[in-house]
Amino acid sequence: MHIDSERHPSALAAAFEIDEWSGDLAPEDDDIKQAAFFPLPDALKLLGELDSATQREPIVGYLTGATAPGTTWLYRNRGKEETLVARW
């Protein structure tokens, strides 16, 4: 998803689906404070509790099958106002 906001004029977020994992989950990016894996029902519940549409809608759409893999979402954020500008 692309996010156009005053604070982050060009932010990009990506999510990856995996079938198997071995080893520790240890992001090396200082901006990531915590990372974890969740079973699908738990992930959908947690994502559904997010106030931000930009954080919630794309991944919930993908995980529920409502949105095709590879769909790109473009949001414009101004203060607390989030607007979906385009989706392709």
Mean pLDDT for all residues in the chain: 83
Closest among 15, 61, 70, 62 to 37, alpha carbons compared:
15
Range from 7-11, 28-32, 53-57 that averages highest in pLDDT = 53-57
Confidence of residue 41 (pLDDT cuts 50, 70, 90): very high
User: Is the pLDDT assigned to residue 8 strictly greater than 70?
Assistant: no
The residue assigned the tokens 């689906």 is 17
**pLDDT value, residue 65:** 93
The rounded percent of the chain whose pLDDT value lies above 70 is 82
pTM: 0.70
